[in-house]
A and B are shown apart, each in its own frame.
Chain A
Amino acid sequence: EAQVTQNPRYLITVTGKKLTVTCSQNMNHEYMSWYRQDPGLGLRQIYYSMNVEVTDKGDVPEGYKVSRKEKRNFPLILESPSPNQTSLYFCASSLFRGSMGETQYFGPGTRLLVL
């Protein structure tokens, strides 16, 4: 089954404690990205990757890091989480063939609470 998986699905942590949210896709997609969802703001892109070892900032990258060492995995790293990073996080992937209508597949989401 084609899917994007994220772990953990729920996480409560404390300020400053490093954490990693994993994302994996089994569709051999080149393009992967991370979004955060906040009430009244919709989803905003944090980072994206067009292929292995190619990553770039999205609209709200501060406080986050990513890596793309393998095509299927795109972890999101919070080196020193702060309460303003409490949010719902989505990983997404798609082919990158230039077609505007390419479907983006979203993971199930990770709810993060930073105390």
Chain B
Amino acid sequence: AQKITQTQPGMFVQEKEAVTLDCTYDTSDPSYGLFWYKQPSSGEMIFLIYQGSYDQQNATEGRYSLNFQKARKSANLVISASQLGDSAMYFCAMRGDSGNTGKLIFGQGTTLQVKP
């Protein structure tokens, strides 16, 4: 069975510093995709970044980068130069290539608070 684990329920970071949010996954699918979403206090789900299991390079999107370590089955999100607007809950999610391939499996989420 596929599983996503986020072991940090809450994190603090000082404004302008970098922060890493941890995500480990488990799957037997040979091909899969890993996603990060941001959920601000208003509740909507905002897509941040995607990493394919066969991608050779780590994904980057502006201040977001994904530290993908396939052998360790980890897909940590790195936010550089944190801003107050980064305070939100962050979800790691995975999509497999068998069966219901549209389904996203989500982790428990990590609440990030950026201090001024």
Interface residues of A (CB under 8 A from B): 31, 33, 35, 40-45, 48, 50, 56, 58, 88, 90, 92, 94, 96, 98, 100-101, 103-104, 106, 108-109, 111
B100:A104 contact, CB within 8 angstroms: no
Cα distance A98–B48 in the bound complex, in angstroms: 20
Chain B contact residues, majority secondary structure = loop
Contacts of B9 in A (CB 8 A): 40
User: In angstroms, how far is the closest chain B Cβ from the Cβ of A95?
Assistant: 9
Chain B nearest CB: distance from A27 CB in Å?
14
> Size of chain B's interface in residues, with CB distance under 8 A?
27
Residue of A whose beta carbon sits closest to that of B51: A101
Q: Which residues of A contact B44 (CB under 8 A)?
A: 106, 108-109
Q: How far is the CA of A106 from the CA of B35 in the complex (A)?
A: 14
In the assembled complex, the Cα of A98 lies from the Cα of B97 at a distance in Å of: 8
